[in-house]
Structures are given as structure tokens and as C-alpha cells.
């Protein structure tokens, strides 16, 4: 029986594609990929005779029409999304349609762009005594956000925040964040994380708007906000490698000394 594979193609660098995803793309007779975001290099291993569709110019009905035809011919489909399919990927609506059609599907996770953004920044997004929570969200634009998920409300948690799909509203985002944070609060923008044309902007709420305007960044960028971005952010080391900390695989020095007395 044919199957649709929803593949997270990662943030852009084809070397961040998982081995499982690469194997499925290499054997799939039909590929539907998000061409506005997924690097074409991800498809280099595709079969020479594979039928490849760019979903950037397709609506949901057209995508489903391709899958219906594949089902009629009993052919697998690789549905290739950017990043990871669990975040802002329209996965839910597509799987709902597949369930209605009686089509089997499987999810192949990918590396999210927020992970690639952290890589570009050279930062850990969770630090002991600074932030142990990451909020992944978007600013309310044409797609609204539920009540209580506006940036001002989320910022009050003082957690690390990664804002997707919102760079064109940077002015409004700054205005919201300034209701909670001061003008010197750290913020960063990562454009096309992991792509050859990647750009990283480190700034404050006071300077980020002008910096984004100078670089003319209008799409394909993540906004990262949080104290973890400060150069002096590290306040304490984790317990995991503390010589005095005991766990299932190691007895800490203090524990050894206690029992040796």
C-alpha cells in the first residue's frame, strides 16, 4: 500500500537532512516539496524519473490531487517540508485530508530552524539560573494567535523566545517587547540559518529595527530574544558534570567522602 512520508528537510543545509529522510527522497517516485523554503540541493539524490512538484505555487486541493493520483497508481509520495514538520508546517490539515482519503502516512522529523539559529549564534538556549524554558511562537499577522499568546504576555515569563515567520513586523514586535523589557534587552535575528547566505544580527531592542533595515531582511529569518544572548549570560555550570554531583552513572566526590569517613 502506498504511503505519504512527511519529511522535515531541516533548515537549509542539505547535510542536516537525516539519513532516513535522505533514503526516502532517494527512492520516492513522487516528491512534493516546499520550494520557497527547501533548498533544491536536498533533492539532488532523487531518482532521475521522479515526478517533482513545487508546492509553493500549489494550494491544498492541488496537493491532494497529486496524492490521489499517486494512490491510484500505488506510488509513495515524499512530502518535503522545511525545518521540522511539528512546527508551523501545515501538517495537521494535510494529515486530516489523508485520513479522509484513507491514505497511510508517516512523519520523518527534521532539524528545526530554531536549532540552526542557535548554532549560528553559537549559543545554548537554556542556561542554569537564566532560562530553562524556550517559547516557540509567531507574531499575530494574517494568522491570528490564541488569546494569551501575544508577545507581551509571553515575554513576562522571561524565558528564551524564538519568533518565527514575523520579521516583516519587527517594529511591532519591538513595541510589544518594550512593554516588558528595557531598551538594552538582547535580541538577535538569524537570516537563512545554515544556508551559504546566512546572516546573523546581534542587537538590542533599541537597535534591532535599524539593523534589520540596513541588511534588508524581509523573509526567512528567526528572531531570538532572551538573556541567554548576553555575553556574560553564564551564571552557573550545569550539575551534570559537576565533580560533586552524583547520578546513575557516577558517584560524586562529596558522596564518596561521606561514605569514606
Q: Are residues 179 and 82 in the same domain?
A: no
Residue 68 grid coordinates: 490521489
Last residue of a domain, one of 88, 108, 128: 108
Q: Are residues 127 and 99 in the same domain?
A: no
Q: Which residue has the cell 542539505?
A: 14
Q: Are residues 101 and 142 in the same domain?
A: no
Residue 256, pLDDT > 70, answer no
Q: Are residues 138 and 151 in the same domain?
A: yes
Which structural domain, as residue segments, surrounds residue 147? 113-229
Q: Are residues 121 and 225 in the same domain?
A: yes
Residue 242, pLDDT > 80, answer no
Kindly report, residue by residue over 8-34, the tens digit of the pLDDT.
Answer: 999 999 999 999 999 999 999 999 999
Q: Are residues 88 and 52 in the same domain?
A: yes
- The residue among 250 and 101 whose pLDDT is bigger is 101
Query: What CATH number did the domain enclosing 16 receive?
Result: 3.40.1010.10
**Res. 241 pLDDT band, cuts 50 70 90:** confident
Q: Answer whether residue 86 is part of any domain.
A: yes
**Residue 88 · residue 67 · CB < 8 Å:** no
pLDDT the model gives residue 162: 98
pLDDT the model gives residue 74: 97
Kindly report, residue by residue over 65-89, the tens digit of the pLDDT.
Answer: 999 999 999 999 999 999 999 999 9
pLDDT the model gives residue 237: 82
pTM of the shown model = 0.90
Q: Answer whether residue 261 is part of any domain.
A: no
Q: Are residues 97 and 162 in the same domain?
A: no
Kindly report, residue by residue over 220-234, the tens digit of the pLDDT.
Answer: 999 999 999 999 998
pLDDT the model gives residue 141: 80
What is the count of structural domains for the chain?
Answer: 2
Q: Are residues 118 and 141 in the same domain?
A: yes
Return mean pLDDT, the chain.
93
Query: What CATH number did the domain enclosing 147 receive?
Result: 3.30.950.10
The helix (H) or strand (E) run that includes residue 21 is helix 19-27
Q: Answer whether residue 258 is part of any domain.
A: no
Last residue of a domain, one of 81, 108, 135: 108
Strand-by-strand arrangement of the 104-108 sheet: 51-54, 30-33, 77-81, 3-8, 104-108
Residue 255, pLDDT > 70, answer no
Amino acid at each position: 500500500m502506498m504511503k505519504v512520508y512527511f519529511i522535515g528537510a531541516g533548515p537549509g543545509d542539505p547535510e542536516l537532512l537525516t539519513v532516513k529522510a535522505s533514503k526516502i527522497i532517494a527512492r520516492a517516485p513522487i516528491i512534493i516539496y516546499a520550494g520557497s523554503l527547501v533548498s533544491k540541493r536536498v533533492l539532488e539524490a532523487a531518482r532521475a524519473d521522479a515526478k517533482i512538484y513545487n508546492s509553493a505555487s500549489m494550494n491544498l486541493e492541488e496537493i491532494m490531487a497529486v496524492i490521489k493520483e499517486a494512490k491510484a497508481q500505488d506510488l509513495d509520495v515524499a512530502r518535503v517540508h522545511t525545518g521540522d514538520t511539528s512546527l508551523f508546517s501545515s501538517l495537521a490539515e494535510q494529515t486530516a485530508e489523508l485520513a479522509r482519503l484513507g491514505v497511510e502516512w508517516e512523519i520523518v522529523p527534521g532539524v528545526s530552524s530554531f536549532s540552526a539559529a542557535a548554532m549560528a549564534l553559537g549559543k545554548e538556549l537554556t542556561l542554569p539560573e537564566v532560562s530553562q524554558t524556550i517559547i516557540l511562537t509567531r507574531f499575530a499577522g494574517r494568522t491570528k494567535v490564541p488569546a494569551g499568546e501575544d508577545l507581551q504576555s509571553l515575554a513576562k515569563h522571561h524565558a528564551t523566545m524564538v519568533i518565527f515567520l514575523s520579521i516583516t513586523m519587527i517594529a511591532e514586535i519591538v513595541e510589544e517587547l518594550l512593554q516588558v523589557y528595557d531598551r538594552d534587552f538582547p535580541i538577535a535575528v538569524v537570516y537563512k540559518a545554515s544556508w551559504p547566505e546566512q546572516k546573523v544580527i546581534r542587537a538590542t531592542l533599541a537597535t534591532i529595527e535599524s539593523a534589520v533595515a540596513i541588511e534588508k531582511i524581509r523573509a526567512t529569518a528567526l528572531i531570538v530574544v532572551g538573556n541567554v544572548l548576553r555575553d556574560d549570560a553564564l551564571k552557573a555550570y550545569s550539575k551534570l558534570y559537576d565533580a560533586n554531583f552524583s547520578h546513575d552513572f557516577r558517584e560524586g566526590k562529596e558522596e564518596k567522602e561521606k561514605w569514606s569517613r
